[in-house]
Structure 1
Amino acid sequence: MLYLLHEWQRTMLSPLNYWAEASARMFGDAGSALSMLPGAQRAAAGCELMYRLGKDYEKPEFNIHSVHAQGQEVAIVQQESLARPFCKLLRFKRFSDKPDVIDALKDDPVVLVVAPLSGHHATLLRDTVQTLLQNHKVYVTDWVDARMVPMDEGTFSLDDYVQYIEQFIRHIGARRLHVVSVCQPTVPVLAAVSLMAARGEDTPLSLTLMGGPIDTRESPTRVDDLATTRPLSWFRNQVIHEVPWQYPGVGRKVYPGFLQHAGFIAMNPSRHLMSHWDFYENLRRGDLDDADAHRRFYDEYNAVLDMPAEYYLDTIKVVFQEHRLPRGTWDVAGERVTPSAIGGTKLLTIEGELDDISGQGQTQAAHGLCTGIAKKDKKHITVKGAGHFGIFSGRRWREVVYPDVRKFIAKADAARAKVEKKAR
């Protein structure tokens, strides 16, 4: 019922939203006579703020069309490599018309970026992907909004998530693959590689785990406290709702994106309030660059998706309440997850000093679990002054974190090449 009420409210307010958008243009466009009226700049700023607070934010595009690689500007074409009901595996293929550049691009390491399924779309990792493309062949998981998945496609649980990762690794080919997972997927990614290793399958050359809840008993945050101070039944009764008739997934139980967004805002309400006030002031003063930066950030931040209920509740129970991965009690489809089985994969963990979502030590805990990986093949980085988003997006990611990630992947790839050369 709550979901249906939300849709009704959105529909009823849409005329006001359209009016605010049109008014912002009429009072703000230099070619409009109304822009010459006294107070027009203030009116335009207020109307645009009203419009942006009420508008729908659709899934953004990656919009990565070129990147500087191998000393040249090369074209990027986004391709769908594999499609599953709840996720699409995208490849960002690099193209050049110079034979020497093409040959060099072919030798670059292959990276699978596993994006989080935790509210925002995979495009939140646009900066991560674009930076990696300079020196790597890149794939990324693009999770589908659960409200767009018809009921006849079945359910999607945390076990399914793990199995999707396994499928993607096999599809790309583990022998030359490096996996980078950001935030939430560090847990299912580590589980997937553990299961593959225990079966004797090929595993990726390296794992890079960034700001994830491997063991949430370490430095608990407000997110962890919320998950542990309420029973699972509270989450099932309070945040799980059915998709209404307007969408292909009608009847599917989900954790709606609009509720997740409300939770994001509630974590730092004063920060968001000041950000919108600054946006209004920038528009009023004509500081268009700062105003445009605000638009770009919130176009991404406000675009959210619905999560399948089974997956969300599994994550609360398995990861946050019962800590099954670090306790060694997690079974996926009847198989025990044993990170100690991983042997031929190098491990890099990265944490932000000021991360208020995954506290310090939560990601580093993977080192204690992966006892089969030699000490020389493990590395941990704590990024000074970085919050959660800073370790995978923005200047600090590009200038501080990425050089270390690149070196780590290159070292693992060189070791693979050396072994293959000896085998010939």
Structure 2
Amino acid sequence: MRESKVMKGTLLNKNVLKVIDELRELSGKEPGAESARVALQGMLEGLIRQAESGEGNIERIVEELIDLGLAFPESPLPWRHLSQVWLDREEWKRARAAADQGLKVEPGDVELVNNRAVALGRLGDHEAAIVGFKHCIEREPRNTAFYCRLGDTYRQLKMYEQAEQALHQALEIDPRCAPALLGLAVLNNDREEWAGCVYFGELALRYLPGHPETCLVVGDALLNLHEYEAALQRLMSATLVDPTFIGAYELMSHAYAELGMYELSVGAAREALRLNPESWRALVNVAYALGKQERHPQSADILEAALKLVPDVENRCEVLWDLGWACYKAGRYKRALACTEQALECGEQPDLILFFNRGLILLALGRVDEAEEAYQKAVERAQAEENHDVLAEASENLGELLARKAVKIKSGSVISRLLEG
């Protein structure tokens, strides 16, 4: 018996351990070896079911599964279940460790390799995750879940062609594979191909009606297509299924603001903040609603608060952009310039309008020569990209400033030519 092992749980008492050892001994002897092995496997499966019936007592469940791993050193089953327990709790390092332990018992086990790959992807090691998912596909080439996970991992690396290929492979196996359709919707969202996002998202919703994450992705795309009422319908569907879905309330707040329904916009943002007091997106949407009402000082104040909550560089750039513009509209030109310059510095590919905004703010500060230089570079960029829309927007913003603030502009300058259109 394994009395030397320290069993922390309560399932494996001395009598149970004795039976396990007796069955293991019989499994190595003929006749009856196969029957003993079947009984041993059944006993393990039953003990795992008992271990996982702990009704939320995660420490107890973990202890019991570890004990079972020690008591059944020849089986990967306890480690499969333990790694899944940690995945469900988003404990990625522990999930990987449990999967690693199981793979020592049975190298190449598909379920363990999959769980390990999922954990690695969540930990940011996407390349290693890809290796794992490819192994799973080799072993089970008809399992669409592995293609979907592979596609999502490629997407996170911005390897969009490979992601698309993997997702379409899943659809070749099962044309109704909703996770693959959702994956293509998310992929199109990342590419800012909004119509494609809506197309694949709506297809996914045929097979997963009301699926909150799919409704969110479709709602976001509809917002970007300026179809605000349709976006609200999808986002509301998400909250009907999951009333605690923070992302849906955040986007609903934005949609309501675009429709001029400011009280509802603030109400949706308030609900998001109730669910998550650190929802910086909700604060950004409150600020947006205030800005739409020309309440720029209050908008800027809210954005200052939101900036303190932003966890990552990419979204920080977005908030700095909004804050810079709100401060400009509020007449806080020095702060506007600082925020706009920070937004330009932190983004890999800053939006073209930011370069024009910098020139506009410099002009508002009376730094005409610097503004001329900034506008020169911005116009050159816009012409190289043949972006006439941003030139029109910049011209409109410039005209609005000069209509309310007297600034001497040289004839024939880049600024004067931009103003003339």
Could you tell me the TM-score, scaled by structure 2's length? 0.23
Larger Rg: 2
Higher relative contact order (CA 8 A, sep 6+): 1
More helix as a share of residues: 2
Could you tell me the TM-score, scaled by structure 1's length? 0.23
